[in-house]
Amino acid sequence: MTKPDSLAEAVTAVMEMESFQQAQMHQFRQQKGNLRNIDNSQDDQSPLTTNLASIRKALEEIKGTIAELQAWKGGMEKRDNPADVPASDWPGRFRGRCWNCGDLGHLRRHCRAPKMYRPYQENGQEPGR
């Protein structure tokens, strides 16, 4: 193919090439057709069967995990106060004693027992001294 001498010749050459490519694509699409070949082999050891079995197994494991998490979540939603959650349920949870009731696993501000105010009983001193 030679170099075009003008812009008009270049545009004409490009349009001819583009129309030729479109005609080839149209012809290819017509030859291809809309039918697909289906393989009806009953081979039980095919990779598709093996992969499908492993996917089903993984899906069952995921469903079990989801059920466990939903049960755990439901148990957490029933507890409206952090003092109701045992310290063993939360690894990073406070494990000291409550300064109000003396029980383990919650802070004084979350204690459900009546508040006990005993200011300065331990040492008998007033504040600031």
Tabulate helix, strand, coil % of the chain (nearest 5). 50, 0, 45
**pLDDT at residue 35, as a whole number:** 61
Cβ–Cβ contacts within 10 Å for residue 84, how many?
14
So what's the pLDDT on residue 89? 59
- What is the arithmetic mean of pLDDT over 43-48? 69
| Of 45, 47, 44, 66, the residue nearest 55 (C-alpha) | 47
Q: By mean pLDDT, which of 39-48, 62-71, 92-101 is the weakest?
A: 39-48
Give me the DSSP letters along 94-118.
Answer: --SB-TTT--BSS-GGG--SPP---
Element at 67 (helix H, strand E): helix 47-78
Instruction: Work out the pLDDT band at 60, boundaries 50, 70, 90.
Output: very high
Asked if pLDDT for residue 28 goes beyond 80, the answer is no
41's tokens: 């082999």
Greater model confidence, 31 or 67: 67
